[in-house]
Structure 1
C-alpha cells in the first residue's frame, strides 16, 4: 500500500512539471519589451524628419505651425570676437519662426559674417562650406514680407536680406540677415526689407566685426564663424 501511495505522488509531481513546461513562451514580458522598442524608434525618427520638412510650397503653413510650437525670441551668436544676443520681434511671426527653425536645425552654425560695409551694415548667414549650400538647396524657400512702418533701420536692427531683381513682393531670404552698423540708422532701406529683431547685447562685437579687413567682395579676410543657439 505504501509503495502504491509513493507511486501516485510521483505521478502527480511529474504531471505538474509537464504542465509548467507547456506554457507558451511568447507571452513572457521580455518578448513584449523587445518588440516595443523598434516601434518607438521608428516613431521618433519620423518626427525628426517631419520637423524640417519646410519647402517653397508649404512655407507659410509650416512657419505658422512651427512658430506655435517654438515661441522663443532670444538667439545667441558666439564668435571669436565675442557674443551677440538678438531679440526677435513677435509681430513678424514668420520671420521669427524661420530664424528659430534655422538656428535649431543648425543652419546658422555652418555660416559666418560674410559681408562688411563699414558705416553701413554687417551681414551674415552664408559661407563657402558645402554643408551651407546643401542646406540652402534642401530648404529652398522665401518668406513673405512682414514690414511694419514702426520698425525702422535703426542702429543695431536686424533685417532680412532679399533679392531686388524679379521680386515685386519683396520676399525675404531666410538664410541671410544684416545688422545696421550706422549709428544714424540706414533709413533709406525702410520699406524695402523686413526688420524682425534687434541686438540687445554685444553691439560692441558687431563693431569689432565691422573693423575687420575685407577683400574686394567685402568678405572678411579672416572668417568670423557663427555658433548660433536659442536662449529662450
Structure 2
C-alpha cells in the first residue's frame, strides 16, 4: 500500500513539473530571443526620442528666422549680411506731432541700413522719443524710459554695430548718424543700434566724421527737425516737451 501511495505521488509531481515548464506565450509576443527583444525596444525608444527632439528643434516653414532670432554680438553681423540681401527698402518716415521727416538710408552702409529697417519693421521705434536735443547741433532719437521700450530691446537682443566710416559720407546738415554706445568698455566706438541722431548744425558737424557712422540723410522735413531742435531742455538735454515718434517704411 505504501509503495502504491509513493508511486501515485511521484506521477502527480511529474505532471505538475511538466506543466510549469511549458508557459503559454503572451498574446502578440514574437519568437525572438529575449536579448533581441530588448534591443528592438531600445531602438524604438531612441527613435521616438530623436523624432520628438527633431520636432522641437524644427522651425515651421511659415515662420521666418528674423521673427525668432535674438541678436547678440556674435550673430548680428551675419544676420544683417543676409537680411541686406532680402530687404532692399531704404526710405522711412518719422512721424511726430510737429510733422513728418522722410529719411533716405545709404545702401553703401548695409549693416546700419539693414539694422534701421529691421528695427522699423519690428516696431521698435514706435513710442520712443527724440530724447536728446542740442540746439543748432543735433537731435537724437530712439530711446525711452518706458518698460515697453526696454522689453522690446530685450526681445530683439543685446548687440553693437562696428563703425562703417570709410564710405566718404560726411556729417553734413541733415545727415542721419548712429551714436556710439555709452558703455565704458567701448574703445572702438561700436554703435548703439537702437538710437540715431540727425545733424542740425550748418553746414555740418564735421568733427564727428571718422568717429560715427553716417548712414542716411533727411530728404524732406528739415523744418520739422529745426522745430524739435529749438525746444527747451533740462540739464540732461532732454526736451521739457515729449516728442514721440512713429516710424514706418516708405519704400
- Note whether the superposition's TM-score is higher than 0.5: yes
Note the alpha carbon deviations across 1:162-193, whole angstroms, 9 max, x for none.
13643232211111111110012111111110
Partner-residue secondary structure (3-state), 1:188 = helix
Q: Which has the larger radius of gyration?
A: 2
Runs (4+) of structure 1 exceeding 6 A deviation are none
1:58 corresponds to: 75
Alignment of 1:173-188 (within 5 A): 173-188=192-207
The answer (yes or no) to whether the contact 2:73–2:160 under 8 Å persists in 1 is: yes
- Unaligned runs of 5+ residues in structure 1 are 1-41
Distance 1:47 1:116 in 2: 37
- Which of 147, 155, 160 aligns to 2:178? It is 160
Distance 1:66 1:89 in 2: 15
Distance 2:131 2:87 in 1: 28
Q: How many residues align?
A: 191
Residue 236 (structure 2) pairs with residue 220 (structure 1): no
Residue 202 (structure 2) pairs with residue 190 (structure 1): no
Note the alpha carbon deviations across 1:28-52, whole angstroms, 9 max, x for none.
xxxxxxxxxxxxxx83673376455
- Which of 143, 149, 160 aligns to 2:161? It is 143
1:70 corresponds to: 87
The answer (yes or no) to whether the contact 1:67–1:97 under 8 Å persists in 2 is: yes
Normalised TM-score (structure 1): 0.77
> Could you tell me how far 1:118 is from its partner in structure 2?
0.3
- Unaligned runs of 5+ residues in structure 2 are 1-58
Moved more, 151-160 or 50-59: 50-59
**1:169–1:149 CA distance, 2 compared to 1 (3 A):** same
**1:54–1:183 CA distance, 2 compared to 1 (3 A):** same
Alignment of 1:20-39 (within 5 A): none
The answer (yes or no) to whether the contact 1:149–1:191 under 8 Å persists in 2 is: no
2:103 corresponds to: 86
> Could you tell me how far 1:129 is from its partner in structure 2?
1.3
Distance 2:66 2:249 in 1: 20
Distance 1:107 1:97 in 2: 14
